[in-house]
Amino acid sequence: MKLVEQRVIDFVAAIASKEPTPGGGAIAALTAATGAALAEMVANLTFGKKGYEAVQTEMEELQAKAEAIRERMLELSQADADVFNIFMNALGLPKNTDEEKAARTAAIQQAYKDAAMVPFEIGELANQIFDLAELASRKGNQNLITDGIIAAINARAAVKSAFLNVRINLSGIKDESFVAELTSKMYAIEKDLDVKESSIIGLYE
């Protein structure tokens, strides 16, 4: 059974178990998914409300984008568990001959890259959720402003969590250009978020 098809009580129990998956990456994806869902909710509860006619189109676009990202995050929560299993399988490959050792090393390096790219996509998309949540908070139904802010907080947490997983996988990758490129992209996203975060938190203080 896929992670997202489990009951919440079973999923949480699976996290707490002795199994290594689902782990932090899957949780980052689901945290982001809840952020997207909250932003989507604000948009849905803004539709047709008196006084919000001018932002109807923006809310419709917000809702569609948030829904697409929410669905992708659910896929990524499973993908994170899958790439971990692929990595573990690579570690278990035979290493008796030079050929086997070379094949094993190549498989491990590819698995490291895949294991870095999944949480990177989670963080990258979570950054987009933050922007949607900020729009929902500023222009959506103001009775739900705190829901919009919480959506942004969840998105921020997802970015930070996902990028921690990226970095731990980058530490095992020998391809220096790959590491440098992903590190640079993460830095740019995090720097941008640091600025945006203080702005949205101040909306309800």
Number of domains in the chain: 1
The CATH number covering residue 11 comes to: 1.20.120.680
Close Cβ partners of 70 (under 8 Å, ≥ 6 residues apart)? 33, 36, 37, 40
Rounded to whole angstroms, the Cα distance separating 172 from 70 reads 30
104 three-class SS: helix
pTM as predicted: 0.92
Q: What is the pLDDT along the chain (205 residues), one digit of tens a residue?
A: 566 667 888 878 888 888 877 789 999 999 999 999 999 999 999 998 999 999 999 999 999 999 999 999 999 999 999 999 999 999 999 999 999 999 999 999 999 999 999 999 999 999 999 999 999 999 999 999 999 999 999 999 999 999 999 999 999 999 999 999 999 999 999 999 988 887 887 776 6
Helix 24-44 to helix 98-139 angle (10° resolution) is: 20
**Contact predicate 176/81, CB 8 Å:** no
Token look-up 């996203």 returns: 189
Residue span of the structural domain in which 80 resides? 3-204
Rounded to whole angstroms, the Cα distance separating 110 from 93 reads 13
Token pair of 111, please? 């698995």
